Structure 1
Amino acid sequence: MPTPPLPSRRGLLFGTAAASAGVLLTGCTSNENNNGDEGGTRRADTAQDKPGKPVTIGFAGPQADHGWLNAINDNARKRAAEYSDVTLEITEGSNDTAQQIGQIETLINKEVDVLVVLPADGKALTQVGLKAMRAGIPVVNLDRIFASPQAYRCWIGGDNYGMGLNAGRYIGERLRDKKNAKVVELAGLDNLELTRQRTQGFDDALKNYPNIEKVARQAAEFTVESGQAKTAQLLQAQPSFDALWNHDDDQGVGAERAIRQAGRDEFFMVGGAGSRHAMEAIEAGDGVLEATVLYPPTMAASAVDLARALGQGKGVGGLAEFEIPASLTLYSAIVTKDNVEEYLPTGFV
């Protein structure tokens, strides 16, 4: 799973759209320079759907050993295929740092126009990001951030702290009138910074609801098997509670399995990341899963948009600046039965 920057919120906050991966650059509407705008300002050129200068984008990500990571690759490929002026050079993907560095160096040697990199380890791959930038190849750093801002031209990624915050707010509002409400948390890998950020956001949100107590927490491993085992432990230890927040929809499949086997339904569950399975379960409304907090893999499609804009020397539609921003943090929207149809097309398998 991704590891974004600490929740200091550098740069702008952008919301993700429901049905289109390209919303970040939606409106990338015109190549015209309008020197006669009122107020004497000139509009920045923006990337847009009409073909422009050909751009070769090198894409390097980690091994797609998780539904979300597989969706990252799919979103990048599909977005690039929409542009007749984009050629995507995509690597096989690896969780081995040395191998991924080698793959990126190959793309640098091929002299691609722009690089999009989701590093398996942001700190370990910082030097190869710096190498690309020094070679004149702008880097779009996707989600897991490099250790130096000099290693990328633009960062785009999700908001793990915001995931926890919004999950906590949703649960808090649902339970605000219940006395002595109890919640439990099924986290991800505790050795990952992203897990700590999600928990911190959740805990911070719950501080605003003094009637709610978090009575238990288990850390799973982002797998179905770990989700089932750790949820079974939570259920055995807690004979009754009101809500469960699960950090990851893949491990949530196992959590749902454990809940069904235990015959428990006195609580509701909020998931994380936004899998298609979770959204379909929310839509069906026949289980405990009531909502999920997005960590949208559509960010890879938007990264391709940004890379194309960089390669063509364009800005972002709807913004006055001539250049694309240095940092874009996606919003962690809450998907419920009320809006699931809108978000379902973005659900990953």
Structure 2
Amino acid sequence: MTDIPRAPRAATSRRNMLFGTAAAGAALLAAGCTSNENNDEGKESAGAEVADSKPGKKVTIGFAGPQADHGWLNAITTQAKNRAKKYQDVTLEATEGSNDNATQVGQVETLINKKVDVLVVLPADGKALTQVGLKAMRAGIPVVNLDRIFSSQQAYRCWIGGDNYGMGLNAGHYIGEQLKDKKNAKVVELAGIDSLELTRERTKGFDDALKNYPNIKKVARQAAEFTVESGQKKMSELLQAQKKFDALWNHDDDQGVGAERAIKQAGRDEFLMVGGAGSKRVMQAIKDDDSVIKATVLYPPTMAASAIDLARALGQGKGIAGMAEYEIPAHVTLYSAVVTKKNVDEYLPIGFT
């Protein structure tokens, strides 16, 4: 790729800047978006401004997400609100969450009409809210698309979210390493909602990881619905069908509450269990080490706090620390760390309830 002379930033209109941004995604760990302690020298030499915690240009951020009817979604809203409070120069306009697409579209349109500086949107359905994302971008309001992605990249300036494939991959590798010396090991999977692409990505990552362990066979899979009730029902079915296995991967710690009830009712403890998402309850169980739960794979709700950081940087026309670019990246994919007894104390503070 050849070098292209850079046009002066002041000559670029806000609307053209939004739609002219390079589409290539940058996968990185979204930590330290607001700190420039480690890269001041590089930033100064590049001429880029870096968003930091010092008060700057005032920014009004509109936030719209689904109804907080799930532990992880509740944590998303909490993370966004708490992060915004840390900045003297940020005003957060948050809507009341809704799982109804038409209602959420109306909420985002209200924020557009209020002329917020930046929008952070976690859509109940990415495809259904794509048009309102496009409307905001065309109005000159940059959109930070959180987790559930819009169907057009023109509908957002930056996407930040979890790595569903990586979540399954890391769960599979952890289980594989625990069972690599066991002959004819058997594992089962308690998935989420099968109609969601994220569930299919998690399963694919899990299956791909297990291919590295020829001694391990996945003998059963049930799809639940990310609820306690469905987790208990589907786990009961797995336990009845499989009289003995060595490991269970559960995609979601909230539905895991029901799964654990079924396990206790069945009196089974011959296997290890790996959770998904990273609830505080599961992390505490890992630390106590008195149940089948030995690990959980993160899908960090801290992404909402990082989305506020990115929105603030956008509103102030700045880049982020640790990168030489003038602008924030187009895509930020978070890492799905595996939490075990060895590192649980490090991650407990970000566990959600």
Q: TM-score, normalised by structure 2?
A: 0.91
For the pair 1:172 / 2:180, whether they are aligned, the reply is no
Alignment match, 2:249: 245
Partners in 1 of 2:337 and 2:27 — Cα distance? Answer: 12
In the TM superposition, residue 149 of structure 1 has moved relative to its aligned partner by 0.7
**Structure 1: gaps spanning 5 or more residues:** 1-9, 17-22
**Which structure 1 residue ranges, 4+ long, deviate > 4 Å from structure 2?**
29-35
In the TM superposition, residue 34 of structure 1 has moved relative to its aligned partner by 8.1
In the TM superposition, residue 33 of structure 1 has moved relative to its aligned partner by 9.4
For the pair 1:120 / 2:128, whether they are aligned, the reply is no
**Aligned pair partner of 1:11 in 25, 36, 53:** 25
Alignment match, 1:53: 57
In the TM superposition, residue 261 of structure 1 has moved relative to its aligned partner by 1.1
In the TM superposition, residue 257 of structure 1 has moved relative to its aligned partner by 1.1
Alignment match, 2:332: 328
In the TM superposition, residue 191 of structure 1 has moved relative to its aligned partner by 1.0
Alignment match, 1:181: 185
Query: Is 2:34–2:51's contact at 8 Å kept on the other side of the alignment?
Result: no
Change (3 A) 1:300 1:128: same
Q: Deviations over 1:235-265 (max 9, x none)?
A: 1111110000000000111111111111111
In the TM superposition, residue 31 of structure 1 has moved relative to its aligned partner by 12
For the pair 1:305 / 2:319, whether they are aligned, the reply is no
Partners in 2 of 1:324 and 1:13 — Cα distance? Answer: 12
For the pair 1:207 / 2:211, whether they are aligned, the reply is yes
Query: Is 2:38–2:322's contact at 8 Å kept on the other side of the alignment?
Result: no
Report the number of matched residues.
330
Query: Is 1:125–1:146's contact at 8 Å kept on the other side of the alignment?
Result: yes
In the TM superposition, residue 76 of structure 1 has moved relative to its aligned partner by 0.2
Q: Deviations over 1:34-77 (max 9, x none)?
A: 89x6xxx4241111011000000000001111000000000000
For the pair 1:81 / 2:85, whether they are aligned, the reply is yes
Q: TM-score, normalised by structure 1?
A: 0.92
**Aligned pair partner of 1:108 in 112, 118, 122:** 112
Name the amino acid aligned to 2:33: L
Alignment match, 2:36: 28
Q: Percent identity?
A: 76
1:60-79 superposed matches below 5 A:
60-79=64-83
Q: Deviations over 1:278-335 (max 9, x none)?
A: 1011011000000000000000000000000000011010100010000000000000
Name the amino acid aligned to 1:162: G
Name the amino acid aligned to 1:54: K
Partners in 2 of 1:234 and 1:255 — Cα distance? Answer: 10
Q: Deviations over 1:153-196 (max 9, x none)?
A: 00000011111000000001111111100000000111111111
In the TM superposition, residue 266 of structure 1 has moved relative to its aligned partner by 0.6
SS in 2 for 1:287: coil
Query: Is 2:35–2:53's contact at 8 Å kept on the other side of the alignment?
Result: no
1:245-264 superposed matches below 5 A:
245-264=249-268
